[in-house]
Amino acid sequence: MPSSPCNLASPLTVLNGVGAALAKKLERLGLFRVEDLLFLLPLRYEDRTQLVRIGALTAGSRCLVSGEVMLAETVYRGRRNLLVRIGDGSGQITLRFFHFSRQQQAQFQPGVNLTCFGEVRKGPAGFEMIHPEYRLLRQGQDAAINETLTPIYPATEGVQQGRLRNLTDQALRIMHNYPPEELLPPEVRDQLYLPALAEAVAYLHRPPPDADIERILEGRHPCQQRLAFEELLAHYMSLRSLRLLAQSESASALTGGQNEVDKFLRELPFTLTVAQQRVVREILTDLSKPHPMMRLIQGDVGSGKTVVAAIACLKAIACGVQAAIMAPTELLAEQHWRSFSAWFRPLGIEPAWLSGSQRAAPRREALDAIADGRAKLVVGTHALFQEGVQFHDLALVVIDEQHRFGVHQRVALREKGVSEGGYPHQLVMTATPIPRTLAMAAYADLDTSVIDELPPGRYPVSTIAVPETRRDEIVARVRTACQSGQQAYWVCPLIEESDVLDFEAAIASHAMLTEALPELRIGLVHGRMRPSEKERGMQAFKDGLIQLLVATTVIEVGVDVPNASLMIIENAERMGLSQLHQLRGRVGRGTTQSHCVLLYKPPLGQLARNRLAVLRDTNDGFVVAQRDLELRGPGELLGTRQTGLPDYRIANLVRDAELMPQVQIAAETINRSAPNCAAAIVRRWLGDAGRYGKV
């Protein structure tokens, strides 16, 4: 049968041995086209390029040996074992099989030569290999030695290694005959000393015997960097094109309102920090342009992002159009509603409120006011952008604590607010500062401002880790603090993402503390309360009616009670560093020295010890984030499940983030000198479906 013409873009079914059933399985692994196989890189390699003398074997190694069958016998050790003893003159080794056919058994005649590969272990009678891969040799045939290292691919349900090797062999042959287009311009490759694409792919799938395997396993081989670089570039350019697209769209240019903003600043009870002033300037400049702003504010917890957002909203409102601020939780949205009401009511601006749990009548009323433009400022949760919400002339959307909102939501939001006047301006504020290079990769669709300064007069929170066996001591400390007029949080353990168990733990801690501290007024807030109950609890704490607030991690983001200066966190060893940093950011907001006690269940492993030490040693959220990134990977830090960032096939955002500055430069070069390459790179790595927007 003549083989049909095929190339790297062909479906996998053009390969020998791939029928509909296998194609389905491969599809589940994200493999659709021949080219996709090339980007499925081996996890590790085995050396079958040289024979090891049996006499020189060591336990634990995986080796290729060749020898002559001395003896084959079946023995019973609970079950039937086939033992085949082979020797090569330097020594002997036993091959042990538990599963074997009569035919197999018959092959192993004394005097037959074979080559086999497997792990060497100590057996009852010297070294043995259990179920080695083997090949019988014909009379006079040489041992079967491979010319390249043998790739071991990522475990793949129901697709055997042998099969994957065969498929990648075929794909590599096709690549050889129809080389992929080299999409990186020579100046980019030369500058970074990166090999050509086809060369890099071939090398990583079938490395020569003398390859620097250690470097490959660390992911730092130039061939890997070549592929990682192009992949990072693809993601970056796809996100960046959203940004470029926005620059070609129209938005209301908000040029007026300076008097109102100045007046607001004069009447604020504090002066903005230099960093806040800089970021406000950047935002106001963006807003004055007739294209939608897409800006991210990064700032450590407590750096004062809310007031910056308020100024942006005021600017819009003073220009006669609507602004909306959206928070990820009801608790946080409610808090914003209170802050914004306090700031804006004196100016005659009454914020409207929208949330998922709202009753029908007030909701109807809010919707009407939003639709006819009476509501100039709208505060709420994601309910803000659900069906049935019609804005009159929305010109600015602020999204607080963004890691809960992914790329797709950001895009959807923009589309939602689109009207005759154009797109709304978008301001996104992060909950978790993230390292610069990671931000470049994850938020390439946004411009970034950083508030890298805390308001004056703050003392860094002093943090200690204490085993929970010393709980009594800590309870006594809470008593002393509260009796001297301070307030405290007691944060309950987070139990495996289950809000039922969280809630039970909170009830138990609350009972324990109420009994131990009868003289204190103790409140409780947890995720299963109705929003109004929660709000009542928080408000009582804010008003000082409650001295000690027992809470689940619902208070993680945003909550602001400056008089609270002590926080106890139970089972701190189970939480992520950035989350702990967020939590402790609830204290240290006033003018007294604040403390955070991380209670842990001993014994603590070395890694957990190091993690908690990071919090003891620094109060800088960017440093915490960098360490968190190294310890847990970007998925946790960015909340990948929600961010909509697709998985990378080859690049690793921790390992390869250092490439980002060059990726950024290369993207500019390519967009300028080879724009059609840009689209092809995005298509190669993200396919037609996996892209972020309409590139």
- Provide the H-helix boundaries in 417-485: 436-442, 471-483
Query: Of the ranges 209-217, 300-308, 353-361, 372-380, which one interacts with ligand ADP (CB under 6 A)?
Result: 300-308
Smallest distance from ligand ADP to CB 628, Å: 17
Burial 290-325, CB ≥16 within 10 A → b, else e: ebbbbbbbbbbbbbbbbbbbbbbbbbbbbbebbbbb
Q: How many residues does the chain have?
A: 695
**C-beta separation of 679 from 237 below 8 A:** no
Q: Which stretch binds ligand ADP (CB under 6 A): 143-151, 240-248, 301-309, 367-375?
A: 301-309
* Binding partner of 320, given ligand ADP, Mg ion, none, CB within 5-8 angstroms per partner class: none
Which alpha helices (DSSP H) does 426-470 contain, by range? 436-442
By beta-carbon proximity to ligand ADP, the closer residue of 225 and 582 is 582
Residue 304 contacts which entry, Mg ion, ligand ADP, none (Cβ below 5-8 A, type-dependent): ligand ADP
| Interface mask toward ligand ADP for 441-480; x: CB under 6 A | --------------x-------------------------
Contacted entry of ligand ADP, Mg ion, none for residue 418, CB cut-off 5 to 8 Å set by kind: none
In whole angstroms, what is the distance from residue 102 CA to residue 518 CA? 79
Q: Maximum Cα–Cα distance for the chain, whole Å?
A: 100
Minimum gap (Å) between residue 474 Cβ and ligand ADP: 26
Q: What is the contact surface with Mg ion in residues (CB under 5 A)?
A: 558
Tokens of 665: 């430069």
Beta carbon of residue 585, minimum distance to ligand ADP (angstroms, whole number) = 6
Output the smallest distance, CB 461 to Mg ion, in A.
16
Distance CA 166, CA 16 (A): 9
Cβ atoms of residues 662 and 422 within 8 Å: no
By C-beta, is 306 or 486 nearer to ligand ADP?
Answer: 306
Q: Which strand ranges, in their side-by-side order, compose the sheet holding 447-451?
A: 352-354, 377-380, 322-326, 394-399, 425-429, 294-299, 447-451
**Residues 475 and 516 sit within 8 Å (Cβ to Cβ):** yes
Work out the end-to-end distance of the chain between its first and last CA atoms, rounded to an integer number of angstroms: 41
Selected binder of ligand ADP within 306, 619, 626, 643 (CB under 6 A): 306
What's the closest the beta carbon of residue 453 comes to ligand ADP, in angstroms?
9
Residue 134 bridge partners (DSSP): 116
User: What is d(CA 14, CA 539) in angstroms, rounded to the nearest whole number?
Assistant: 66
Q: Least distance in Å: CB of 339 to ligand ADP?
A: 7
**Which one of Mg ion, ligand ADP, none is in contact with 303 (Cβ closer than 5 to 8 A by kind)?**
ligand ADP
Which residues, 260 to 289, sit near ligand ADP by CB under 6 A?
270, 272-273, 276
Secondary element (H or E) of residue 275: helix 274-287
Q: Which does 406 bind (CB under 5 to 8 A by kind): Mg ion, ligand ADP, none?
A: none
Closer Cβ to Mg ion, 558 or 639, answer by number:
558
Size of the site for ligand ADP (CB under 6 A): 17
- Measured in degrees and rounded to the nearest 5, phi and psi for residue 84 equal -120, 120
Distance of CA 490 to the CA centre of its chain: 28
Closest distance to ligand ADP from the beta carbon of 358 (Å) = 24
Run of H or E including 533: helix 531-542
Which span sits near ligand ADP by CB under 6 A: 56-64, 171-179, 555-563, 616-624? 555-563
Using rule CB under 6 A, residue 305 touches ligand ADP: yes
- Give the distance from CA 212 to its chain's centroid: 30
- The amino acid at residue 561 is V
Of the pair 391, 443, the CB lying nearest ligand ADP is at: 443
Contact between 238 and ligand ADP by CB under 6 A: the answer reads no
From Mg ion, ligand ADP, none, which one binds at residue 276 (CB under 5 to 8 Å depending on kind)?
ligand ADP
Are the C-beta atoms of 239 and 407 separated by less than 8 Å?
Answer: yes
Q: What is d(CA 220, CA 215) in angstroms, rounded to the nearest whole number?
A: 5
SS (H, E, C) 609-656: HHHHHHHHHCCCHHHHHHHHHHHHCHHHHHCHHHHCCCCCCCCCCCCC
Decide which of ligand ADP, Mg ion, none touches 671; Cβ closer than 5 to 8 Å per partner kind: none
**Cβ 276 to ligand ADP shortest distance, Å:** 6
Q: Is 588 left (phi over 0), alpha (psi -120 to 50) or beta?
A: left
Q: What angle do CA 187, 191, 195 make, to 5 degrees?
A: 85
Q: Is 560 in the site for ligand ADP (CB under 6 A)?
A: yes
Interface region with ligand ADP, contact rule CB under 6 A, candidates 111-119, 297-305, 364-372, 411-419: 297-305
Q: Cβ of residue 262: shortest distance to Mg ion, in angstroms?
A: 24
Residue with tokens 């030490």: 613
For ligand ADP, the binding residues in 585-644 under the rule CB under 6 A are 589
CA 399 – CA 317 distance, rounded (Å): 17
What is the pattern of x (binds ligand ADP, CB under 6 A) and - over residues 402-441? ----------------------------------------
Q: Least distance to Mg ion from the beta carbon of 585, Å?
A: 9
Whose Cβ is closer to ligand ADP: residue 42's or residue 299's? 299
Nearer to Mg ion, 42 or 558 (CB): 558
Q: Which two tokens stand for residue 363?
A: 């909701």
Q: Which two tokens stand for residue 135?
A: 């090949």
301 binds, among Mg ion, ligand ADP, none (CB under 5 to 8 A by kind): ligand ADP
Q: Which is nearer to Mg ion, 134 or 622 (CB)?
A: 622
298 binds ligand ADP (CB under 6 A): no
Q: Which of 301, 333, 494, 575 binds ligand ADP (CB under 6 A)?
A: 301
CB of 522 to ligand ADP, least distance (A): 24
- Min dist CB 314 to ligand ADP, Å, is 15
Q: Are 305 and 334 in contact (CB under 8 A)?
A: no
Which one of Mg ion, ligand ADP, none interacts with residue 270, CB within 5 to 8 A by kind? ligand ADP
Closest approach, Cβ 544 to ligand ADP, in A, equals 15
> Which one of 42, 118, 132, 304 is in contact with ligand ADP (CB under 6 A)?
304
Does 213 help bind ligand ADP (rule: CB under 6 A)?
A: no
What 3-state class would DSSP assign to 87? Answer: strand
Nearer to ligand ADP, 252 or 303 (CB): 303
Beta strands 92-97 and 79-87 are: antiparallel
Nearer residue to Mg ion within complex by CB, 433 or 558: 558
Q: How far is the CB of 464 from ligand ADP (least distance, A)?
A: 23
Number of helices (H), then strands (E), belonging to the chain: the values are: 25, 22
Strand order in the sheet with 62-77: 121-123, 126-130, 92-97, 79-87, 62-77, 113-119, 133-137
Structural element, H or E, at residue 130? strand 126-130
Interface residue list for ligand ADP (CB under 6 A): 270, 272-273, 276, 299, 301-307, 455, 558, 560, 562, 589
